[in-house]
Amino acid sequence: MTRERIYLFDTTLRDGQQTPGIDFSVEDKQAIAKMLDEFGIDYVEGGYPGANPTDTVFFEKKRTRRAQFVAFGMTKRAGVSVSNDPGVTGLLQSKADAICYVAKSWDYHVRVALGCTNEENLESISASVTAAREAGREPMVDCEHFFDGYKANPDYALACAKAAIEAGARWVVLCDTNGGTQPAEIREIVKAVIEAGIPGQNLGIHAHDDTGQAVANSLAAVEAGVRQIQGTLNGIGERCGNANLVTLIPTLLLKPAYAERFELGIERDDLAGLTKLSRAFDELLNRAPDAQAPYVGASAFATKAGIHASALLKEPETYEHVPPETVGNSRRVMVSDQGGKANFIAELKRRGIAVAKGDPRLDTLIALVKEREAQGYAYEGADASFNLLARRTLGQVPEFFKVDSFRCMVERRYDANGSLKTVSEAVVRVTVDGEELMSVAEGHGPVNALDIALRKDLGKYQGEIADLSLTDYKVRILNGGTEAITRVLIESQDGTGHRWWTVGVSDNIIDASFQALMDSIVYKLVTNREKVGQAAE
């Protein structure tokens, strides 16, 4: 049976730009367009050339290889010709392959926002589409507020859609601009549009998540006949966000209800890159990834309940709706107070730590983990600290060096020139092999100063930690207010590119940071010895 083609249209760089707290630079846009293009997205909407400097620069070149590069903008204003409309001219001058015009399709908006007649709006749609087509670009029209427009005045909404098709638009996209439409209404209205003579193969859906149903609305529209879905990476977008392509793509490719009927420009095997795509996007935006995101979240395949977990280890399809590897994710059996012993042993084994089931130190370790996690240690996010905790409890970590004391100071004062400056300094005393060493260092802040001072002179271990660097630092205040506990997570990296996370918890942020820094160094020294041991074998 021939499957029908569904086209994916990404508007991360245009509608996604409306997300609170997000602003893309030209470099950001280049990187994201490349990610989308390489992943197999069909249309990449890059922005609104002419509306702002970043987008105008971005559209000076075509930024995709396979995907259609799309410019967004408004239909021409009433009362002027296309060539006299600077907005449309800007779109046509850009290096876009396709032009996506946003058009009013709700008569209320035509009157209140545009201040022209219904007929003038239809003429603007036709003229704009024609101009794009005649300039050799693929024309498409986003019918703004289509579903509310249809409910208010179905004939006019349809007339807008028809004007676009008849002028030669490749796509007419029905937009649920305020996000309030329900799936059953989507299905009903899409059916009516198709019955009115606009083929499903020319229809698209653009949903928003204001009632938590952007994904469902997109799929409902596809079930009713549309063949283009507009969405964003990780569902970013204004208000509650756009339809999340990272959620839609695996559902379309893996769930029989869709996979048997449709195909995308992405193969099922390519899905293994999905989690990486999603995380790379979050990293570029410096956004904390959503651990509970469908398919790609760190917890999407994590289970807590002890009894669940043991059956899981045997037959995952009893509990998982899709195998995590298909989307590049992994199953996590969480180190938590509800995990059973079997889980724990498996987790330790995974980290290269062997322990017998009957070993009494195992119970000690489990109790210690529960206690520490209740205090705020988050071992799920700090694997190297968990590793060390386990090794110490099972008796396997030497005391390489001892920190006798440290002192951190931050001073803000006027310097000799009368300028206000802040200075951070740390002094650390360590004992290595019986020898006392003292180091002082300055840094951007107290933690940076402490990190540099701590790693400045560790005697005979200095060479081993020379390639150690701190790459990320996260702080979380637990319990809030004055009784706050601070949890610090630190990511470290060595010369081989290997990265690891460590954690520290205290009511004192410097103390918490110190614990995490110590674990980072000790972890490096421990794993160095393992590599040597392995090499020797």
Judged by CB under 8 A, the residue of 272, 305, 440, 466 near a copy of itself is 305
Considering only the stretches 158-166, 233-241, 348-356, 434-442, report the one whose residues sit in contact with a copy of itself under the rule CB under 8 A. 233-241
Is-contact 71 49, C-beta < 8 A?
yes
Q: What share of the chain is helix, strand, coil (3-state, %, to 5)?
A: 45, 20, 30
Interface residue with a copy of itself, options 363, 460, 479, 530 (CB under 8 A)? 479
User: In whole angstroms, what is the distance from residue 427 CA to residue 17 CA?
Assistant: 45
Residues 71-110 contacting a copy of itself, CB under 8 A: 108-109
> Do 481 and 363 touch, CB atoms closer than 8 A?
no
| Continuous H helices in 315-445 | 341-350, 360-375, 383-393
Q: Which of residues 327-346 bind a copy of itself (CB under 8 A)?
A: 334, 336-337
Which residue's CB is nearer to a copy of itself, number 166 or number 511?
A: 511
Complex with a copy of itself: residue 299 or 527, whichever CB lies closer? 299
Question: Minimum distance between the CB of residue 482 and a copy of itself, rounded to whole angstroms?
Answer: 6
Among 93, 448, 527, 528, the residue binding a copy of itself under the rule CB under 8 A is: 448
For 26, 44, 62, 101, the CA distances from 92, given in Å and listed in that order, are 20, 17, 13, 11
Q: Which one of the spans 32-40, 63-71, 86-94, 314-322 is the region binding a copy of itself (CB under 8 A)?
A: 314-322
Closest contact distance (angstroms) between CB of 397 and a copy of itself is: 18
* Least spacing, CB of residue 65 vs a copy of itself, in Å: 29
One residue of 260, 315, 399, 537 binding a copy of itself per CB under 8 A: 315
**Contact status: 439 vs a copy of itself (CB under 8 A):** no
Largest CA distance in the chain: 90
CA-CA-CA-CA dihedral for 301, 305, 306, 311, to nearest 10: -50
Beta-carbon contacts of residue 315 (< 8 Å; ≥ 6 apart): none
Determine the Cα–Cα distance for residues 150 and 183; give it in Å rounded to an integer: 15
Compare residues 99 and 243 and give the one whose CB is closer to a copy of itself: 243
- 299 lies in the site for a copy of itself, by CB under 8 A: yes
What is the C-alpha to C-alpha distance for residues 445 and 137, in angstroms, rounded to an integer? Answer: 53
The single residue among 5, 53, 240, 467 that binds a copy of itself, judged by CB under 8 A, is 240
Element (H, E) at 136: none
Kindly state whether residue 380 participates in binding a copy of itself, applying the rule CB under 8 A. yes
Shorter beta-carbon distance to a copy of itself: residue 202 or 381? 381
Give the C-alpha separation, 521 to 469, whole Å: 10
Q: Cα dist. 378→174, 330, 337, 385, 406 in Å?
A: 45, 19, 12, 9, 25
How many residues belong to the site for a copy of itself (CB under 8 A)?
107
Contact 308, 319 (CB under 8 A): yes
C-alpha to C-alpha distance for 532 and 537, rounded to whole angstroms: 9
Interface with a copy of itself includes 319 (CB under 8 A)? yes
Per-residue b/e over 205-239, b at no fewer than 16 CB within 10 Å? bbbbbbeebbbbbbbbbbbbbbbbbbbbbbbbbee
Is residue 529 near a copy of itself by the rule CB under 8 A?
Answer: no
Nearest approach, Cβ of residue 207 and a copy of itself (Å)? 11
Q: Which stretch binds a copy of itself (CB under 8 A): 1-9, 89-97, 348-356, 407-415?
A: 407-415
Interface stretch with a copy of itself, choices 56-64, 197-205, 348-356, 477-485 (CB under 8 A): 477-485
Nearer to a copy of itself, 378 or 384 (CB): 378
Nearer to a copy of itself, 168 or 294 (CB): 294
Report the distance separating Cα 192 and Cα 252, nearest Å.
24
Contact status: 475 vs a copy of itself (CB under 8 A): yes
Residue 476 binds to a copy of itself (criterion: CB under 8 A) = yes
